[in-house]
Amino acid sequence: MTDQSELDHEVHQIDAVGLVCPLPILRLKKRIQNLPSGTQVEFLADDPSGRRDLQVLCDLTGHRIEWIREENAGVLRYRICLA
């Protein structure tokens, strides 16, 4: 059985690896639109303009990039807290 504290810390993963601008950000926007404020999201992307596009989206919406980690083959893993 899962207790409420585990549910509160669920992290949603959105994989946009292999997609090019503007598709990664469009996929992210679509998948987070009904998630509540405070939700943690891990977003994976390898698009060269992805970092800039994600920062612009966060600036416009109030979402916060918690950290960015470089994975294999140029993939970046972003942890985002939704506003």
The residue annotated as part of the active site, out of 17, 21, 65, 81, is 21
Give the HSE-up count for residue 22: Cα atoms under 13 Å, Cβ half-sphere. 5
Distances (CA, A) of 75 to 24, 60, 78: 12, 24, 10
User: In the annotation, is 58 catalytic?
Assistant: no
Residues with a known catalytic role: 21
